[in-house]
Amino acid sequence: MRTVNTAADLDPATPVIVGVGQASERIGEPGYEGLGEADLAARAVTAALRDALPGPGGVDPAELAQRVDTVAAVRSFEKSSPASYSPFGRPDNMPRAVASRTGMDPRRAVEEVTGGQSPQHLITEFCGEIAAGRCEVAVLFGAEVMSTVRRAQRAGEQLDFTEHSDGALEDRGYGIAGLTSIEEVRHGVVIPISQYSVAENARRHRLGLSARDYALSMGEWFAPMTTVAAANPHSAAPHEWTAEELATVGEQNRRVSVPYPRRLVARDQVNQAAAVVLTSVGAARAAGIPAERWVFLHGHADTREKPLLARPDLADGPASVAAVREALAMADAGIDDIACFDVYSCFPIAVSHVCDDLGLAPDDPRGLTATGGLPYFGGPGNNYSMHGVAEIVERVRRAPGTRGLVAANGGIMSKYSVGVYSTSPAPWRHSTSDDVQRALDAVADVPVTRYPEGPATIESFVVIDPDGAAPGATVVGRLPDGSRFLAAVAPDDADLLELLTGDADPIGTPVYARSTAQRNLVTRTRAEMDRRLPRLEPRLAESYEHLEVRRDGHLLEVTINRPESRNALSPLTNAELDSVFDAYFADPDLWVAILTGAGDRAFSSGNDLSASATAGTLEVPANGFAGITSRRSMPKPVIAAVNGYALGGGLEAALACHVVVADETASFGLPEVRVGLAAAAGGLVRLPRRIPSAVAHDMILTGRRLDAQEAAAHGLVSRIAPAGGVLDTARAVAQEIVAGSPVAVRASLAAMADADGEPDTAAAVAASMSVLDAVLVSQDTREGIAAFLEKRPPRWTGR
């Protein structure tokens, strides 16, 4: 590494922060204007440009603005996820909207992904761009006006922040994959307060503290931050609190969850903006920016944590600690060499889990925040750490040669970006985060069970609005096999709710789990579970709302009866099919089943998206789509009689069947990618195994359809029926199956299923010999041999 002693020794391409700026307004205070995001951000950018040139001798800030070639915006909360929206509209190109207000005409405009790590990540990225010569002057900014928006909504006012800007925009999208999961959506553990509560309660258990003592410990982490916030003119809540006041629940500090009182969670009702100006050393010199304004990025790191449910320890975030240590190592510094910190502080564990490992105490005299922390200074969405950087830059300028550290967090301790700053000249150092990330990724995930059944223990939990009329509680549990699951607690389960909301630690308590299509449920005992969710004996009902079910001797015919929706499957349809197939597989007198669709237009067009949207959840039985795509065992044959379309989930249901016969007019396809979905009910796995992979990939990636003849040619279909005759053909196939021994048929199905998991053909053949163990001792084998010798049809019993 090249040693740099003075600014004169620096490579002209060395990146440097030359300006920082902040802007804010509080409702009800003098000068409040109710600015939109673009206007408030423009004020922060203007402040940052002026900060770079505070006195005479350099170019005018307006001239510096004209030299900006890159503008990057932190994504605001109004467009941070598919569920977010802008109630009063917004600029369609935020970087250029702000640029036009501040005299900038950049060649490149970027909107970053979602996450509180974004400000630090952008600084690191564009420092690298400057060092590589691809950029000379960059302005990074972000803004939130959530307080103004909510005030207007409450008052019934109509604001208009819509705005069009010409020019290219590099929109990087949400970037939120891995921050939540289907299981968390199903069980309501989606918003940050729920997810962080799970982590926080796990940490409380590790420390062995009662609810009251742990609340006080959280208050001790945050109380010093309120002192900083009280002195910060940009704070949303400039008030000083003691640890006791933060921890004590009362009318002004209600419990929003277990374990959080309101004063211990991030405050998002803010109007705040911040900006940073980056240049190369050469550009800073050319602009006449004084060297005493320069701040260098001595160390940096970016890491990503495993998804919450996959983490070996719910209370830990090793990626965060690894990022801090790597940034310090790059800066040739230890934790004791840092003079000031701004550690991301949306919730107490976001601070404590990092500080625990680094040996930092809540009362460290250097302080853990430079702004005042997210609950008190304010949590301006993804842009909070831009304010942290601005404050740290100011501090190291006031104490030249010292170092400051910014730790920026995104998601649930999910994405972590760290920067070490100082006025001491330092060369640009390339990222070493990839090696760190590989080591983090090498740690094994905890397996997740989507549909748990049986005894378990509580690993962690959350209760939202615990003192309200209908508290919402979710348990993270562990099954005896070590897998993890989520399960809800019934709102009227007073016994379990009392355990979760009381002062004693409930983690480690035995519970019982059971699944439904809607969600999993957990109770204290199996007896209580059986009372709430009794397991009924599988049997056919007299009638169904979405099905026609016909029994003919040993044959069961199941018809999806929703022709008006092309036999699409709603949550109710799935539930009815699941029940019917449970009954079919349990009934010894039913030997073969046919699944088809009503009418001549469709076997099934897949998932009924409108019905699923109305239900508001992903309601699929544990046995999968149509009650069969995820069954671990299909011990009896099922024939798919495809009449018309078999699309999406319809094709996936057909693929789960043992035999597929098709009307000559049938059509097969997986169009999920065309509506932003994926064939996750077996299509991604079964189709490439059933037909040539090149054709399967074509169908999956483009939505291409196969007609019946193509499907047969590729081995997807075994027989083609004349138009309108597919059910007759399926019945003929069923009779051919019934003509064979049920014992032999079922043993053959089981042996073929076992062979699917054995890639070695010789080993699979050897293993398949065990099929004879069941067959040779059956009554059917004796009957079959006797019938052959006596030259008569066998009379099978299925035993």
Catalytic residue numbers, as ranges: 652, 672
**Which amino acid, 359?**
G
- Residue tagged 């691809």 (tokens): 134
Angstrom CA distances, 158 to 26, 84, 97, stand at 19, 19, 21
- Residue tagged 């982590």 (tokens): 199
DSSP 8-state secondary structure symbol assigned to residue 68? -
CB-based contact 104:65 (threshold 8 Å): yes
CA–centroid distance for 768 within its chain? 42
3-state helix, strand, coil split of the chain in percent (to 5) is 40, 20, 40
625-657 burial, b at 16+ Cβ within 10 Å, e below that, comes to bbbbbbbeebebbbbbbbbbbbbbbbbbbbbbb
**Which amino acid, 442?**
A
Q: Which of 647, 793, 622 is nearest to 707 (CA)?
A: 647
CB-based contact 228:373 (threshold 8 Å): yes
Q: In what order do the strands lie in the sheet with 705-707?
A: 602-604, 645-647, 667-669, 705-707
Return the ∠ at Cα 719 (arms to 715 and 723), rounded to 5°: 125
Angstrom CA distances, 208 to 197, 353, 477, 677, stand at 16, 15, 19, 44
CA dist., res. 119 & res. 415, Å (int):
12
- Stretch (H or E) spanning 45: helix 37-52
Q: Using DSSP, state whether 512 is helix, strand or coil.
A: strand
Q: Using DSSP, state whether 719 is helix, strand or coil.
A: strand
Give the gyration radius of the chain's Cα atoms. 32
Return the ∠ at Cα 270 (arms to 269 and 276), rounded to 5°: 145
CA dist., res. 206 & res. 553, Å (int):
60
CB-based contact 266:347 (threshold 8 Å): yes
CA dist., res. 438 & res. 312, Å (int):
16
Annotate 597-619 with DSSP letters as a single string.
Answer: ESSSSEEE--B-HHHHHHHTS--
11-20 burial, b at 16+ Cβ within 10 Å, e below that, comes to eebbbbbbbb
Instruction: Take residue 146 and report the two structure tokens written for it.
Output: 């959530």
CB-based contact 200:317 (threshold 8 Å): no
Q: Which of 134, 137, 168 is nearest to 66 (CA)?
A: 137
- Residue tagged 């029926």 (tokens): 721
**Which amino acid, 499?**
L
Return the ∠ at Cα 37 (arms to 32 and 38), rounded to 5°: 110
Angstrom CA distances, 270 to 20, 72, 149, 220, 426, stand at 19, 21, 10, 24, 36
Q: Which of 636, 657, 549 is nearest to 589 (CA)?
A: 636
Return the ∠ at Cα 352 (arms to 274 and 398), rounded to 5°: 40
CA dist., res. 386 & res. 24, Å (int):
13
